[in-house]
Amino acid sequence: MLHRFANPTRFLRLSAALLPWTAGLTLVLLIAGLYLALFGSPADYQQGETVRIMYVHVPAAWMALFCYSCMAGASAVGLIWKHPLADMAAKATAPIGACFTFLALVTGSLWGKPMWGAWWVWDARLTSVLILFFLYLGYMALHNAFDDPTRGARSAAVLALVGFVNVPIIKFSVDWWNTLHQPSSVVKMGGPAIHPSMLTPLLLMGLAYTTYYVWVLLLRLRGEIVAGKVRAIRLRQAHG
Amino acid sequence: MTVDTITSFLHMGGHAAYVWPSFVITVVVLAALFVHSLSFLRAGEAALKGLKAEDEASDET
Amino acid sequence: MRWAFEIMRRDLRLALRQGVDSLMAVVFFVLAVVLFPLGVGPEANILARIAAGVIWVAALLASMLSLERLFQTDYDDGSLELLALSPVALELVVLAKVVAHWLTTGVPLIVAAPVLAVLLDMDAQGFVVLIVALALGTPTMSLIGSVGAALILGARRGGVLLSLLVLPLFIPVLIFGVAAVDAAIGGFAARPHLMILSGLLIGAVALCPWASAASLRQSLE
């Protein structure tokens, strides 16, 4: 099935059709999510209004891990089957994942100050998410450090796979170690431990972020395909 | 909506300094990423058009 | 197996002929550590408190110095291709080179560490654990470093990029290495931390040569 989309022209047509829908869906979900987060949900009886930060912090953290997993998966496909679109998908996902990780760190810090009294603590989860951020940056730097784009893609793919060991560490860090960070309350055995009035905006924001990811990914993929064509023409002209 | 409720909404129970920057930074970063991705695409498309025009021009000569 | 030893001996001979590398790593290590009392102030209690961390961070940075050249010189003059084509598995070649790197960079650091610990007024209880922890940690760093070195072959500004790639991966070694020494100083059991360091080493021995070899093959294509 994937091979049908390996053809860049076919992909360009498909993405052109999908783009307005993903854009529209993202905006609708985002507005709905933000509305519920800021107006339509109750304040926490312990944390007060700061709990609203959860609605931007938690989905960003989810996406940080999700994007890295996508990047690692695409890297594996690129290394094993040499599918050109897979390499491009990994490259395009990296900046999106880095932004989400950055947001998770910053909003987490802004939530931590009123809740724990500290902007930052060096516990297992925060440290491993910081490492994830550096891994994203390293990936992007490595990918762009070679004159030959394929070489860059291969090298970065290996890095993405080596760094994937960090993802389960982040997920389970709050279970394995004594951390200040709150343990899992949504994705755990026995179902979510949050009240529906808070779960709904959370899930809406999560969905909004996911459609945003698809939207920007499609844009960047189109950009990569076009950049590839430009490179090919320039090479041909140089050798012409 | 009275001015009081709007003010108390903006006040966010005293935590305004934390809640609002969180949302604002989120929107700013996501918007900036979108703008960057779009301009990356547009720059590529412009370059492609320019190169294709060059190609056609040199084909005609 | 004999071939692997031959490769290791060749690398050792080359490294020793160019003794500068090992010397440079140790001198950098000493200089970096010495900067701290000068910057932080000579108060004994503060220095003793940060001694373990300072020595470990300096060891991390020093062991990174010669990593760039692990594969670069062989790549540049074509001997890496010959090694890849030889009957020895590329993974063993990597392992042999890493052992040579550790012997010429890691071991001098381990030897210098207790001297520096004295300079920083570290509690004598921590000395033995420091040596053991470094003995476990430095080979791990050489192994992880080899993956980074393989990844940046042929890249622009590879040296700086190498640090960006490799330092985040070093962090677990750093955390548990310092924890082991601090535990020993505080009178607690250092064994759990040393166990984790051993685990990291074993994991690195199992995974890193494979990842480095895969990376080298990509660059030789």
B49 touching A (Cβ < 8 Å): no
- Asked if the C-beta of B26 comes within 8 angstroms of chain A's C-beta atoms, the answer is yes
Distance from CA of C154 to the nearest CA of A (A): 7
Q: Answer yes or no: do C211 and A127 touch at CB < 8 A.
A: no
- Closest of A178, A175, A177, A201 to residue A189, by C-alpha: A175
Closest partner CB to C151 (pick from A127, A147, A155) = A155
pLDDT at residue A3, as a whole number: 62
Count of domains for chain C: 1
Contact of chains B and A by CB distance (3 or more pairs under 8 angstroms): yes
Q: How many angstroms away from the CA of A190 is the closest CA of chain B?
A: 31
* pTM confidence score: 0.86
Task: Tell me the mean pLDDT in the region A54-59.
Answer: 93
pLDDT at A148: 86
List of chain A residues whose C-beta atoms are within 8 Å of the C-beta of residue B52:
233
- Please give, rounded to a whole number of angstroms, the shortest distance from the CA of A44 to a CA of chain C: 35
* CB-count exposure of residue B60 (10 Å: 0-12, 13-18, 19+): exposed
* Whether pLDDT at A190 is above 70: no
Q: Is there an interface between C and A (3+ Cβ pairs < 8 A)? A: yes
Question: Of the candidates A34, A110, A216, which has its C-beta nearest B21's C-beta?
Answer: A110
- Chain C residue numbers with beta carbons less than 8 Å from the beta carbon of A146 are 154-156
Tell me if B44 and A230 make a contact (CB, 8 A cut-off). Answer: yes
| Beta-carbon count within 10 A of C133 CB | 29
Cβ contact, residue pair A49, B34, below 8 Å: no
Mean pLDDT of A81-109: 94
Residue of chain C whose alpha carbon sits nearest to that of A127: C171
At residue A173, the pLDDT reads 77
Name the H helices within chain C: 2-17, 20-40, 44-65, 69-77, 79-85, 90-101, 107-119, 127-151, 158-186, 191-220
- Judged against a pLDDT cut of 80, whether residue A84 lies above it is answered with yes
Q: What is the pLDDT of residues A18-53, one digit of tens each?
A: 999 999 999 999 999 888 888 878 877 777 788 889
- Residue C148: what pLDDT? 93
Does the beta carbon of A157 lie under 8 angstroms from any beta carbon of chain B?
Answer: no
Residue A57 sits at the chain B interface (C-beta within 8 Å): yes
Cα–Cα nearest to C53, from C136, C105, C117, C145: C117
**Whether A145 and C152 lie within 8 Å, measured CB to CB:** yes
Closest chain A residue by Cα to residue C221: A151
* Band (A218; pLDDT cuts 50, 70, 90): very high
pLDDT digits (tens, 9 = 90+) for A86-98: 999 999 999 999 9
pLDDT at C195: 94
In this structure, of A76-90, A184-198, B16-30, B47-61, the range with the lowest mean pLDDT score is A184-198
Work out the minimum CA distance from B60 to partner chain A, whole angstroms: 15
Q: By the 8 A CB rule, do C121 and C51 touch?
A: yes
Give the pLDDT of chain C (221 residues) as one tens digit per residue: 677 778 777 877 777 776 677 788 888 899 999 898 889 888 888 888 899 999 999 999 988 888 888 888 888 888 888 888 888 888 988 998 899 889 888 999 999 999 999 988 888 888 999 999 999 999 999 999 999 999 998 888 888 899 889 988 898 899 999 999 999 998 888 899 999 999 999 999 999 999 999 899 888 87
Q: Which long-range contacts (CB under 8 A, 24 or more apart) does A21-27 make?
A: A22/A211, A22/A214, A22/A215, A22/A218, A23/A215, A25/A211, A26/A208, A26/A211, A26/A212, A26/A215
What is the count of structural domains for chain B?
1
> Do B and C make contact, counting contact as 3+ CB pairs within 8 angstroms?
no
Q: Give this complex's ipTM.
A: 0.87
- Please give the average per-residue pLDDT across A110-125, as a whole number: 86
* Shortest alpha-carbon distance between residue A146 and chain C (Å): 5
CA distance B44 to chain A (A): 5
Segment A141-169 shows an average pLDDT of 90
Q: Which of B12, B26, B36 sits opposite A49 (nearest CB)?
A: B12
Above 90 in pLDDT, residue A193?
Answer: no
For the stretch C167-190, pLDDT in tens is 888 988 999 999 999 999 988 888
CA distance readout (Å), A18 to A12, A24, B29, C183: 10, 10, 23, 57
Do the chains contact at A137 and C215, CB–CB below 8 Å?
no
- Domain residues for the domain of C39 are 2-220
Q: What is the pLDDT of residue A4?
A: 62
**Domain extents in chain A:** 10-178+193-239
| Residue contact A158–C154, C-beta within 8 A | no
- Give pLDDT, residue C77: 84
Contact A77, A83 (CB under 8 A): yes
Q: Across chain A, what does the average pLDDT equal?
A: 88
pLDDT given at position C18? 67
